[in-house]
Amino acid sequence: MKLLQKKYQEDFLHLGTHLNGLAYAATGYKRVLEENRKLYNLVQDLKGNIRVYCRVRPFMPGQPTSLSTVENIEEGTITIRVPSKYGKEGHKPFMFNKVFGPSATQEEVFSDMQPLVRSVLDGYNVCIFAYGQTGSGKTFTMSGPKELTEESLGVNYRALADLFLLSDQRKDTTSYEISVQMLEIYNEQVRDLLATDGQTKRYPFDLALLNNSHNGINVPEANLVPVSSTADVIQLMDVGQMNRAVSSTAMNDRSSRSHSCVTVHVQGRDLTSGAILHGSMHLVDLAGSERVDKSEVTGDRLKEAQHINKSLSALGDVISSLSQKNAHVPYRNSKLTQLLQDSLGGSAKTLMFVHVSPEAETVGETISTLKFAERVGSVELGAARVNKDNSEVKELKEQIANLKMALARKGNGNGNEAQPNPPLQNHERISRRRSLETPIFRPKLPTMGNAPSNLRPQVMDLSGPEAFSDTASSRRHSLDLHELMKSSIPSWPRQTLDINEEDREFKSGEWIDKHTELNQDDNLLSPDKFYQSMTPQQLNGGKQDFEVQSITDNESDGVASDCSDSDLMWRLNVQVNVPRVSNKQSSANPKPKKIKPKTTKVSETRSLIPSLIPAPSKRPPNTVSLQPQRPTRDGRRRLSLGK
CB of 283 to ligand ATP, least distance (A): 14
CB of 444 to ligand ATP, least distance (A): 23
Which CB atom, from 139 or from 535, has the smaller least distance to ligand ATP? 139
How far is Cα 326 from Cα 323, in angstroms, rounded to an integer? Answer: 8
Give the CB-side neighbour count of residue 200, counting CA atoms within 13 A.
13
Which CB atom, from 138 or from 375, has the smaller least distance to ligand ATP? 138
87, 505 contact by CB (below 8 A)? yes
Residues constituting the chain: 643
CB of 614 to ligand ATP, least distance (A): 18
Give how far the C-alpha of residue 616 lies from the chain's centroid of Cα atoms, to the nearest Å: 24
DSSP track, 222-255:
S--EEE-SHHHHHHHHHHHHHHHHHHHHHTTSGG
Instruction: Measure the N-to-C terminal CA separation of the chain; round to a whole number of Å.
Output: 112
User: What are the two backbone dihedrals, phi and then psi, of residue 454, each rounded to the nearest 5 degrees?
Assistant: -90, 5
How far is Cα 154 from Cα 165, in angstroms, rounded to an integer? Answer: 17
Which CB atom, from 87 or from 137, has the smaller least distance to ligand ATP? 137
CB of 373 to ligand ATP, least distance (A): 14
Residues contributing to the annotated binding site for ATP:
132-139
CB of 364 to ligand ATP, least distance (A): 17
CB of 151 to ligand ATP, least distance (A): 11
CB of 379 to ligand ATP, least distance (A): 23
Q: Which residues of 126-142 are buried (b: 16+ CB within 10 A; e: fewer)?
A: bbbbbbbbbbbbbbbbb
Which CB atom, from 58 or from 621, has the smaller least distance to ligand ATP? 58
Which CB atom, from 379 or from 612, has the smaller least distance to ligand ATP? 612
303, 209 contact by CB (below 8 A)? no
How far is Cα 586 from Cα 267, in angstroms, rounded to an integer? Answer: 52
User: What residues line the site for ligand ATP (CB under 6 A)?
Assistant: 57-58, 60, 132, 134-140, 145, 288, 355, 461
Strands 259-270 and 174-186, by their bridges, are antiparallel
Which CB atom, from 124 or from 353, has the smaller least distance to ligand ATP? 353
Query: Could you tell me which of 138, 491, 468 has the C-alpha nearest to residue 315?
Result: 468
Identity of the amino acid at 416? N
> Which residue sits closest to ligand ATP, CB atoms considered?
137
Which CB atom, from 156 or from 347, has the smaller least distance to ligand ATP? 156
How far is Cα 186 from Cα 69, in angstroms, rounded to an integer? Answer: 34
Which CB atom, from 132 or from 616, has the smaller least distance to ligand ATP? 132
CB of 240 to ligand ATP, least distance (A): 17
How far is Cα 435 from Cα 328, in angstroms, rounded to an integer? Answer: 32
| CA-to-CA dists, residue 277 to 105, 212, 341, 448, angstroms | 34, 17, 18, 32
Mapping DSSP to helix (H, G, I), strand (E, B) and coil, where does residue 90 land? Answer: strand
500, 583 contact by CB (below 8 A)? no
How far is Cα 130 from Cα 135, in angstroms, rounded to an integer? Answer: 12
Which CB atom, from 392 or from 461, has the smaller least distance to ligand ATP? 461
Which CB atom, from 140 or from 164, has the smaller least distance to ligand ATP? 140
Give how far the C-alpha of residue 116 lies from the chain's centroid of Cα atoms, to the nearest Å: 13
196, 242 contact by CB (below 8 A)? no
CB of 154 to ligand ATP, least distance (A): 9
507, 528 contact by CB (below 8 A)? yes
CB of 461 to ligand ATP, least distance (A): 6
Residues contributing to the annotated binding site:
132-139
